[in-house]
Amino acid sequence: MKPNNVSLALLVSGISLLLLCCGSGNGDPVKPGPVDSTYTWVQIEEYDLTIPEPSGLVYDEARERFWIVSDNTGQLHALSKKGIVLQTLPWVGADLEAITIDPQDGSFYVTEERTAAVYHLDADGHYLNTFQFDSLIYGGNHGFEGISYRPDQDCLYLLKESDPGLLLRVDMDGTIQEEMELGFASDYSDLTSLGGDSLLVLSDEDESVTLIIEDGTILSAHDLEKISSPEGLALVHDTLYVVTDNSANLALYVRQPATD
């Protein structure tokens, strides 16, 4: 999902100049980042979903719909901007947590948490191949919770939930380019590439979103109101869409100036 330039400018403007960097996997994790108090994310709408245990979220610009995965059904489901189910793809996985799209061909990449597998499916949901990572390091109950495609570099970002939280940059053949340990949140439940090296990271336990750049520099952090167990996010123009797991909702947020 690629926001327009206005959306990215709105996110980055007014950000604190205090910059904290993530350590490498062998170094100390980064400390909590600054909070940009000039704006807040305000919830403007919420829609109930009929898909149980939804997770992950990506916007498909070509087909003008969202896609989620479900840990319950093991499938990929298409949603309207009001949370209505538009389509369900035939492929079935297990313990699915995250989803992204390659806009060049409309194909999907989805993560299986416990096995640390990333499955590549074509635009119709048919299996193509698997990137298998070491499940002892990246799998289990705190495995890959987020995935996002970066078109300008033709690579994937993978986000490990916790113990420790990790950000991986991966080639399209599944080779790990870089790996960084994260420490600015209690856990990490999804991320989305905003174009260039900017990433928006979601935390389930903290109920927050954090704007970082690829090298781990934290730009801003904000709590999300009126939400519980956020598991997926996508930024479409100026609206932030967040999927919740336990309540199965699609919540909409807009950025508004903070009030004293």
Q: What are the residue ranges of helices labelled H in 110-256?
A: 135-138
Q: What does the angle CA 250 – CA 251 – CA 254 come to, to the nearest 5 degrees?
A: 145
User: Measured at the alpha carbon of residue 207, what is the angle toward residues 97 and 222, in degrees to the nearest 5?
Assistant: 120
What is the predicted pLDDT for the residue at 35? 56
Contact 159, 98 (CB under 8 A): yes
Per-residue model confidence (pLDDT) at position 259 = 80
Give the pLDDT confidence score for residue 25 in this predicted structure. 37
In angstroms, the CA 71 to CA 91 distance is: 13
Q: 65-80 burial by CB neighbour count: b if 16+ within 10 A, else e? A: bbbbbbbebebbbbbe
pLDDT at 14: 38
Domains and CATH numbers, the chain: 5-257 (2.120.10.30)
Among 229, 184, 174, 236, CA closest to 207: 229
pLDDT of residue 38: 86
pLDDT tens, residue order, the chain (260 aa): 444 443 444 444 433 333 333 333 334 444 445 556 788 999 999 999 999 999 999 999 999 999 999 999 999 999 999 999 999 999 999 999 999 999 999 999 999 999 999 999 999 999 999 999 999 999 999 999 999 999 999 999 999 999 999 999 999 999 999 999 999 999 999 999 998 999 999 999 999 999 999 988 899 999 999 999 999 999 999 999 999 998 999 999 999 998 86
- Per-residue pLDDT at 113: 97
